[in-house]
């Protein structure tokens, strides 16, 4: 893996997480991108997403996108709605069922430590993650994601 994570746009990251949420594993996503045919991605939420930006990025720099898929990435600039999307697609979390929202924060998100670490390395620097509580029985952390702009 590169010393610094590969940067993806929020849209590219959202497309990747939508494919993962649909059940596509990393190597399957890479295989579909190598094929150059966006048709297999049309089954994701009944064709709701246009995957052409991911194909364009793949054509531009195959190795870097494959590394981002396999090893991780950082989002160049994350928005409030981008975080909601990631929390939903990656962890099946939705407000108000799983956490509360304020204008510039997400409160009470329960995640495993590895998932908190993933968010820390993936979200852009305009957000910060604050651990509110560590739940010893489950090994989960309760976090707050807040605007750090």
Blockwise average pLDDT, block size 10, the chain, 149 residues: 82 98 98 95 95 96 97 98 98 98 98 97 98 94 96
Q: CB neighbours of 13 closer than 8 A, spacing ≥ 6?
A: 73, 75, 82, 86, 122
Predicted pLDDT at 30 = 98
- This prediction has a pTM of 0.94
Predicted pLDDT at 149 = 82
Predicted pLDDT at 4 = 81
Predicted pLDDT at 80 = 98
């Amino acid at each position: 893996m590169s010393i610094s994570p590969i940067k993806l746009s929020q849209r590219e990251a959202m497309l990747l997480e939508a494919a993962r949420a649909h059940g596509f594993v990393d190597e399957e996503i890479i295989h579909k991108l190598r094929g150059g045919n966006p048709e297999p991605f049309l089954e994701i939420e009944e064709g709701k997403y246009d995957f052409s930006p991911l194909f364009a990025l793949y054509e531009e720099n195959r190795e870097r996108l494959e590394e981002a898929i396999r090893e991780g990435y950082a989002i160049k600039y994350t928005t409030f709605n981008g975080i909601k999307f990631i929390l939903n697609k990656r962890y099946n979390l939705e407000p108000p069922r799983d956490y509360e929202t304020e204008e510039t924060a997400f409160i009470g998100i329960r995640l495993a430590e590895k998932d908190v670490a993933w968010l820390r390395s993936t979200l852009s620097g305009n957000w910060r993650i604050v651990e509110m509580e560590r739940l010893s029985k489950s090994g989960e952390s309760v976090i707050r994601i807040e605007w750090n702009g």
